[in-house]
């Protein structure tokens, strides 16, 4: 439990840092900590604690955005399931698979956000520049992903012993939820 | 029984959280139609807690940017510049309102009455954060309820209208930008007085929708707030028309507007410490002035 709280605090700090960096640097160069920390929590923590940390960080991101309230939280919940499902098949704790998965998930997150906007607000319009920015940001997120995972592991270990997740790769029939 | 509960508690928690987020999103959608929805206090607390971190991030960046200039004995220039920009924004606003009134009637007494009506104190606020979502546009400001900043107050800068305060805590606030996809402002073309609605699209440009029968909209026309709707004061600069899309079959035409404010470069904004009549109606009368942790959507 303590490791979940420590990770939640670190994730909240990272959210504030992301928001502050966005005010001073081009958005395409700022990794999405709002996505990476929940991913790390889903991977490093137990399923129950991971679920709550993902939801809490999602609501935190909602507070730092004018998006529909609950939108980030919902996406983080879906992404929690995705991370745990993929971790059952691949060794996501290794840097390269985690970075590649983060890249894909960042793009999927942007697409899902667009779908939610379309559904709840009735229309979604964007331009090529914005789409390019989303793609570049997914690259920045992928580059930062292994570092964030290492940091999250270090931070979480301050709160207590982490469960090794290695066996998840072997139990391919293990239920996600 | 205990074992069964242990097995289903995770799917149960997942389902409950999905329902909760959906409930919040539907509630927020209601807010977009003008109903007010309060943000739960733990989340307002997060906004409050984020502000010191964001100030801490801003500090070294500012030092690096401004270090050399300050080193050459210009220590007070930044502060004086902020104060002067505040005065400039107030004068610009006043000037535009006066020009508006003169265009309308030429009656100076009415101009004076309008000045009394719209004059309000401007609170300078530093931008300490931006929206973490790529599709929405908002700013986090380092002023909150302790500085009399409340939800529903307009935010301006020396170039024109910036947006609207949508959530506040004691020491921080969030402002929805004019270019946010949920923002809408009643606007008027300065030259022809054609009325319409300016809407954000979540990108760097704005869309001006106007009725064909009133239309005299040309590229280069300045677009100002009309004051209709009672959210923003009249006569604030919104931007300039860069293109007009006219389809003869349509009753409503649209024009693309380049915003007067460069939102990406904004470092200091000014919160007008007076709500418009609509925002007063929405917020006041329920003791909100002291405990405002609310969210407000576009008018």
Per-residue pLDDT of chain A (177 residues; tens, 9 = 90+): 788 888 888 898 888 888 888 888 888 888 999 999 999 999 988 888 889 999 999 988 888 888 888 889 999 999 999 999 888 888 888 889 999 999 999 999 999 988 888 888 777 777 777 788 889 999 999 999 999 999 998 888 876 665 545 444 555 555 666
Chain A contacts of B53, Cβ < 8 Å?
A: 13, 16-17, 20
DSSP state of B187: E
With an 8 Å Cβ cutoff, is A109 touching chain B? no
Q: Which residue of A has its CA nearest to B52?
A: A16
- Residues 43-82, chain A: which have Cβ within 8 Å of B? 47-48, 51-52, 55, 58-74, 77, 81
Q: Estimate to the nearest angstrom the gap between the alpha carbon of A152 and the chain centroid.
A: 12
Residues B149-201: tens digit of each pLDDT: 888 889 988 888 899 998 888 888 889 999 888 888 999 888 888 888 998 88
Task: With H, G, I as helix, E, B as strand and everything else as coil, classify residue B61.
Answer: helix
CA–CA separation, B116 and A104 (whole Å): 56
The dihedrals phi and psi of B192, each to the nearest 5 degrees, come to: -100, -10
CA–CA separation, B252 and B214 (whole Å): 10
**Contact (CB<8Å) A137/B128:** no
Task: For chain A, give every domain's residue range.
Answer: 2-163
**Contact (CB<8Å) B13/A48:** yes
Q: Is the pLDDT of residue B270 over 80?
A: yes
- Report the pLDDT value the prediction gives residue A18, as an integer from 0 to 100: 87
A45: nearest Cα among A12, A76, A8: A8
With an 8 Å Cβ cutoff, is B108 touching chain A? no
- End-to-end C-alpha distance for chain B, whole angstroms: 52
CA distance B112 to chain A (A): 37
Chain A contacts of B172, Cβ < 8 Å?
A: none
B21: nearest Cα among A148, A56, A43: A56
Q: Which residue of A has its CA nearest to B129?
A: A20
Q: Which CATH architecture has domain B184-259?
A: Beta Barrel (2.40)
**Contact (CB<8Å) B140/A64:** yes
**Contact (CB<8Å) B202/A48:** no
Q: What pTM does this model have?
A: 0.72
Residues in chain B, how many?
A: 299
Residues B230-269: tens digit of each pLDDT: 888 888 889 999 988 877 667 778 889 999 888 887 888 8
**Contact (CB<8Å) A47/B10:** yes
* DSSP code string of chain A: -HHHHHHHHHHHHHHHHHHHHHTTS-GGGS--HHHHHHHHHHHHS-HHHHHHHHHHHHHHHHHTSSSPTTHHHHHHHHHHHHHHHHHTTS-TTSHHHHHHHHHHHHHHHHHHHHHHHHHHHS-----HHHHHHHHHHHHHHHHHHHHHHHHHHHHHHHHSPPPP-GGGGT-TT----
* DSSP code string of A34-74: HHHHHHHHHHHS-HHHHHHHHHHHHHHHHHTSSSPTTHHHH
Rounded to 10 deg, the angle between the A2-22 and B41-71 helix axes is: 50
CA–CA separation, A153 and A44 (whole Å): 7
Q: Is the pLDDT of residue B114 over 60?
A: no
CA distance A109 to chain B (A): 10
**Contact (CB<8Å) A12/B50:** yes
B44: nearest Cα among B298, B287, B285, B291: B291
Which tokens go with A47? 């399923």
pLDDT, averaged across chain B: 76
CA–CA separation, A39 and A80 (whole Å): 7
With an 8 Å Cβ cutoff, is B8 touching chain A? no
Nearest CB to B129 within list A23, A58, A116: A23
DSSP state of B235: T
Q: Is CATH 2.30.29.30 what the domain over B40-177+271-295 is classified as, yes or no?
A: no
Nearest CB to B18 within list A17, A34, A74: A74
With an 8 Å Cβ cutoff, is B131 touching chain A? yes
CA–CA separation, B145 and B162 (whole Å): 19
- In a mutagenesis test of the A interface, which of B37, B133, B169 is the best target, namely the one with the most A β-carbons within 10 Å? B133
Place of tokens 């960042």: A106
Q: What is the ipTM of this complex?
A: 0.79
Beta bridge partners of residue A146, listed in sequence order: none
- Cα B40 to Cα A5, A80, B103, B167: the distances in Å are 20, 23, 46, 11
Q: Which residue of A has its CA nearest to B41?
A: A63
Residues in chain A, how many?
A: 177
Which tokens go with A83? 């991370």
Which tokens go with A173? 């029939």
């Amino acid at each position: 439990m303590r490791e979940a709280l420590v990770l939640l605090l670190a994730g909240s700090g990272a959210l504030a840092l992301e928001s502050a960096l966005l005010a001073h640097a081009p958005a395409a160069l700022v990794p999405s900590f709002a996505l990476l920390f929940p991913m790390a929590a889903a991977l490093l923590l137990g399923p129950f604690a991971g679920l709550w940390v993902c939801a809490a960080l999602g609501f935190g991101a909602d507070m730092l955005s004018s998006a529909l309230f609950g939108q980030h939280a919902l996406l983080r919940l879906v992404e929690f399931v995705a991370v745990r499902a993929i971790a059952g098949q691949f060794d996501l704790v290794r840097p390269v698979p985690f970075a590649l998965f983060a890249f894909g998930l960042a793009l999927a997150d942007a697409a899902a956000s667009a779908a939610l906007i379309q559904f709840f607000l009735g229309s979604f319009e964007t331009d090529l520049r914005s789409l390019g920015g989303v793609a570049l940001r997914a690259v920045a997120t992928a580059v930062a992903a292994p570092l964030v995972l290492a940091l999250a592991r270090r931070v979480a270990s301050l709160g207590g012993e982490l469960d090794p997740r290695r066996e998840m790769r072997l139990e391919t029939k293990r239920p996600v939820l | 029984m205990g074992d069964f509960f242990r097995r289903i508690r995770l799917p149960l928690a997942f389902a409950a959280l999905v329902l909760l987020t959906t409930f919040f999103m539907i509630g927020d959608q209601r807010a977009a139609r003008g109903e007010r929805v309060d943000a739960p206090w733990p989340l307002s607390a997060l906004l409050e807690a984020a502000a010191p971190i964001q100030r801490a991030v801003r500090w070294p960046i500012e030092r690096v940017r401004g270090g050399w200039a300050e080193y050459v004995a210009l220590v007070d220039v930044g502060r004086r510049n902020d104060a002067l920009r505040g005065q400039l924004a107030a004068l610009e606003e006043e000037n535009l309102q006066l020009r508006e009134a003169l265009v309308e009637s030429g009656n100076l007494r009415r101009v004076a009455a309008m000045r009394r009506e719209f004059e309000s104190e401007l609170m300078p606020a530093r931008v300490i954060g931006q929206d973490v979502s790529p599709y929405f546009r908002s700013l986090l400001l380092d002023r909150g309820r302790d500085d009399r900043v409340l939800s529903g107050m307009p935010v301006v800068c020396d170039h024109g209208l910036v947006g609207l305060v949508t959530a506040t805590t004691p020491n921080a606030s969030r402002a929805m930008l004019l270019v946010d996809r949920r923002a809408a402002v009643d606007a008027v073309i300065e030259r022809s007085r054609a009325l319409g609605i300016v809407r954000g699209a979540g990108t760097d440009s704005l869309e001006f929708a106007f009725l064909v029968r009133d239309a005299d909209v040309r590229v280069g026309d300045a677009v100002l707030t009309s004051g209709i709707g009672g959210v923003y004061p009249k006569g604030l600069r919104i931007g300039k028309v860069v293109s007009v899309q006219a389809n003869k079959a349509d009753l409503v035409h649209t024009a693309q507007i380049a915003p007067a404010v460069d939102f990406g470069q904004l470092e200091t904004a000014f919160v007008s410490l007076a709500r418009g009549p609509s925002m007063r109606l929405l917020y006041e009368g329920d003791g909100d002035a002291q405990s405002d942790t609310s969210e407000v959507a576009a008018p």
